[in-house]
């Protein structure tokens, strides 16, 4: 694991939505420097306790950012390449790492190489960049492989060496400019031998670059062992957290924690309870008052945590399977904190409390977790690494519950506790350290690039 990733906590932003950009690039013929609107929020990010900015797509595209048309040019709706360089420099000055979103499984139909194919079909110089069916007919006069039935997203042919060279050139270019790493969109759809070629080429130039693949399900470790990535997205844990809280079935979460712990043999995953592709946690939970329970799990287990912008303010939004169905979970942010609703700040402070606990115990990033007690509505687990030890207690019941004590304990964070740290009020949570644990032996106040 890269040293700097042991200390990073991401604030994840979808820039086109965050800045209120137009839905179509056709409606923005001239660059608008919206990326600079992120600068006032860097202080907010740091006050939250984060020190990483994970950006959604920022490169030229037709609509939502995942239909890329130019990997070397910033989307005009967000500004110019100079605006992105400025943002990367500004983040570096503030001690904030930046993770870019690399959409390299597919491109938009206006990607120049594909536009040439549309004009020249099989005779195009770029025909080998795509999986074409020249006998298919149709409106284009041929067929092509797309991304999961989305005809406007044209799948790249990763067996073509020029495609691999293009991707690695793009990644190395923006790492040279100042990015700290890449999230590889739809990495699960890219052949792992291609991922290995890309990862090896990028790591040869930038050994400290963190490459995390979007993987929904399947054999997570193979993307590291075979594909050469540094990490993957932990969707299994995400699902188990909200599902177990909704069903009052913490056995599901206990099982997921065991699977999560097993991953630590091979990788430290990117962990989250919300992102740009899923319904907001405050909307997903049947009982939004259990949001703190979800966060206690997120920050109490191993992983590189990410907070999706607005989740720390209890934003609501439901993802729908229709055109524009992502808009509700990708809203515009106000220009300043004064524009945020008052009801969101208690959730913000819960995030601060738990992120502060996590940063004082940076060893948790690679900790091993064991379940100590599980029932339908109660769960206790302990995360350990070296001399560090933290226990997380969850009580979903409408009555208080006393967990079996394991000696004296110090409350590091909680939803409210009395004199007995092992006695939890109804629907409450707590994070504890043993009396011989400082709960803050590892400082992460300074991060090195």
Question: Tokens standing for 184?
Answer: 């590889």
Tell whether 347 and 252 lie within a shared domain.
yes
Confidence class for position 434, pLDDT limits 50, 70, 90 = confident
Nearest to 98 by CA among 108, 109, 110, 85: 85
Q: Looking at the structure, tell me whether residues 374 and 354 fall in a common domain.
A: no
Task: Tell me: pLDDT of 238 over 70.
Answer: yes
Any domain includes 442:
no
Q: What percent of the chain has pLDDT over 90?
A: 93
pLDDT grade for 374, boundaries at 50, 70 and 90: very high
Higher pLDDT, 436 or 316: 316
328 and 391 share one domain: no
Domain holding 174, by residue range, is 3-367
Position 186 in a domain: yes
Whether residues 333 and 378 fall in one domain: no
At residue 409, the pLDDT reads 92
**Residues 190, 195: Cα–Cα separation, whole Å:** 7
Residue 429 has pLDDT above 60, yes or no: yes
The CATH number for 148's domain is: 3.20.20.80
The angle formed by the CA atoms of residues 304, 310 and 312, to the nearest 5 degrees, is: 60
Q: Does residue 317 belong to any structural domain of this protein?
A: yes
Q: How far apart are CA 230 and CA 105, in angstroms?
A: 18
Burial of residue 186, with CB atoms counted within 10 A of its CB: 0-12 exposed, 13-18 middle, 19 or more buried: buried
Domain assignment present for residue 449? The answer is no
Digit-coded pLDDT (tens) for 173-200: 999 999 999 999 999 999 999 999 999 9
Residues 339 and 381 in one domain: no
Report how far residue 110's alpha carbon sits from residue 336's, in angstroms, rounded to the nearest whole number.
35
pLDDT of residue 435: 52
Q: Residue 433's pLDDT band (boundaries 50, 70, 90)?
A: very high
Q: How far apart are CA 293 and CA 379, in angstroms?
A: 10
Residue that terminates a domain, selected from 349, 367, 385 = 367
CA distance 359 to 180: 19
Give the per-residue SS3 of the chain. CCHHHHCCCEEEECHHHHCCCCCCHHHCCCCCCHHHHHCHHHHHHHHHCCCEEEECCCEEECCCCCCEEEEEEECCCCCCHHHHHHHHHHHHHCCCEEEEEECCCEEECCCHHHHHHHHHHHHCCCHHHECEECCCCCCCCCEECEECCEEEEEEECCCCHHHHHHHHHHHHHHHHHCCCEEEECCHHHCCHHHHHHHHHHHHHHCCCCEEEECCCCCCCCHHHHCCCCCEEECHHHHHHHHHHHHHCCHHHHHHHHHHHHHHCCCCCCEEECCCCCCCCHHHHCCCHHHHHHHHHHHHHCCCEEEEECCHHHCCCCCCCCCCCCCHHHCCCCCCCHHHCCHHHHHHHHHHHHHHHHHHHCHHHHHCEEEEEEECCCEEEEEEEECCEEEEEEEECCCCCEECCCCCCEEEEEECCCCCCCCEECCCEEEEEEECCCCCCCCCCCCCCC
Question: Sorting pLDDT into bands at 50, 70 and 90, what band is 448?
Answer: very low
User: In which band, very low, low, confident or very high, does the pLDDT at 220 lie, cut at 50, 70 and 90?
Assistant: very high
Angle 306-310-313 from CA coordinates, rounded to 5°: 110
User: Is the same domain home to 222 and 138?
Assistant: yes
Give the closest residue to 248 by CA, choosing from 368, 427, 31, 99. 427
pLDDT at 443 over 50: no
**Same domain (yes/no): 231, 264:** yes
Could you tell me if 211 and 229 are in contact, meaning their C-beta atoms sit under 8 angstroms apart? Answer: yes
Asked which of 367, 386, 403 is the last residue of a domain, the reply is 367
Residues 261 and 296 in one domain: yes
Q: Is 395 inside a domain boundary?
A: yes
Give the per-residue pLDDT at 408. 85
Of the three residues 367, 392, 409, the one that is the final residue of a domain is: 367
Instruction: Examine the pLDDT at 449 and tell me if it is beyond 80.
Output: no
* pLDDT of 441 strictly over 50: no
Do 276 and 418 sit in the same domain of this protein? no
Convert the pLDDT of each residue in 281-310 to its tens digit: 999 999 999 999 999 999 999 999 999 999
Q: How many CA atoms lie within 13 A of 52 on its CB side?
A: 30
pLDDT in tens, 50-91: 999 999 999 999 999 999 999 999 999 999 999 999 999 999
Q: What is the CATH number of the domain that holds 429?
A: 2.60.40.1180
**pLDDT (0 to 100) of residue 36:** 98
Identify whether residues 213 and 276 lie together within a single domain.
yes
Count the domains in the chain.
2
Residue-wise pLDDT tens digits, 10-60: 999 999 999 999 999 999 889 999 999 999 999 999 999 999 999 999 999
CB within 8 Å of 219: residues ≥ 6 apart: none
Determine, yes or no, domain membership for 84: yes
* pLDDT tens-digit series, residues 103-146: 999 999 999 999 999 999 999 999 999 999 999 989 999 999 99
| pLDDT at residue 29, rounded to an integer | 84
Distance separating alpha carbons of residues 42 and 50, to the nearest angstrom: 9
Question: 209 and 182, same structural domain?
Answer: yes
58 is a domain residue = yes
Evaluate whether residue 390 is within a structural domain.
yes
Distance CA 71, CA 82 (A): 14
The answer to whether residues 208 and 246 belong to one domain is yes
């Amino acid at each position: 694991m890269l040293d700097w990733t042991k200390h990073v906590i991401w604030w994840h932003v979808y820039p086109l939505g965050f800045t209120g950009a137009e839905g179509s690039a056709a409606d923005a013929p001239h660059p608008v420097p919206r990326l600079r609107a992120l600068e006032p929020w860097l202080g907010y990010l740091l006050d939250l306790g984060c020190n990483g900015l994970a950006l959604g797509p920022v490169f030229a595209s037709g609509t939502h950012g995942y239909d890329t048309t130019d990997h070397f040019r910033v989307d005009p709706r967000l500004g110019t390449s100079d605006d992105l360089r400025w943002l990367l420099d500004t983040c570096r000055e503030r001690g904030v790492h930046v993770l870019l979103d690399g959409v390299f499984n597919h491109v938009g139909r206006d990607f120049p190489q594909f536009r040439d194919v549309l004009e020249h079909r099989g005779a195009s110089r770029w025909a080998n960049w795509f999986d074409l069916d020249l006998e298919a007919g149709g409106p284009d006069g041929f067929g092509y492989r797309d991304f999961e039935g989305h005809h406007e997203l044209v799948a790249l042919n990763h067996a073509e060496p020029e495609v691999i060279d293009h991707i690695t050139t793009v990644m190395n270019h923006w790492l040279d400019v100042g990015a700290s790493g890449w999230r590889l969109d739809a990495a699960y759809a890219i052949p792992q031998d291609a991922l290995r070629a890309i990862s090896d080429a990028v790591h040869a130039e930038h050994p400290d670059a963190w490459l995390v693949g979007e993987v929904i399900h399947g054999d997570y470790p193979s993307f590291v062992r075979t594909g050469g990535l540094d990490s993957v997205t932990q969707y299994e844990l995400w699902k188990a957290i909200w599902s177990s809280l909704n069903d009052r079935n913490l056995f599901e979460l206990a099982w997921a924690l065991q699977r999560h712990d097993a991953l630590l043999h091979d990788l430290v995953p990117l962990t989250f309870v919300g992102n740009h592709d899923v319904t907001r946690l405050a909307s997903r939970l049947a009982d939004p008052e259990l949001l703190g329970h979800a966060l206690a799990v997120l920050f109490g287990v191993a992983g590189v945590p990410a907070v999706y912008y607005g989740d720390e303010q209890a934003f609501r939004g439901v993802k729908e399977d229709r055109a524009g169905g992502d808009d509700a979970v990708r809203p515009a942010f106000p220009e300043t904190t004064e524009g945020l609703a008052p009801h969101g700040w208690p959730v913000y402070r819960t995030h601060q409390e738990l992120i502060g606990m996590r940063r004082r115990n940076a060893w948790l990033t690679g900790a091993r977790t064991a379940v100590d007690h599980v029932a339908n509505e109660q769960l206790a687990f302990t995360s350990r690494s070296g001399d560090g030890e933290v226990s997380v207690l969850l009580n979903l019941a409408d009555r208080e519950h006393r967990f079996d004590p394991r000696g004296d304990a110090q409350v590091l964070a909680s939803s409210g506790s009395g004199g007995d740290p092992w006695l939890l009020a109804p629907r409450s949570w707590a994070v504890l350290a043993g009396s011989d644990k400082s709960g803050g032996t590892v400082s992460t106040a300074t991060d090195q690039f």
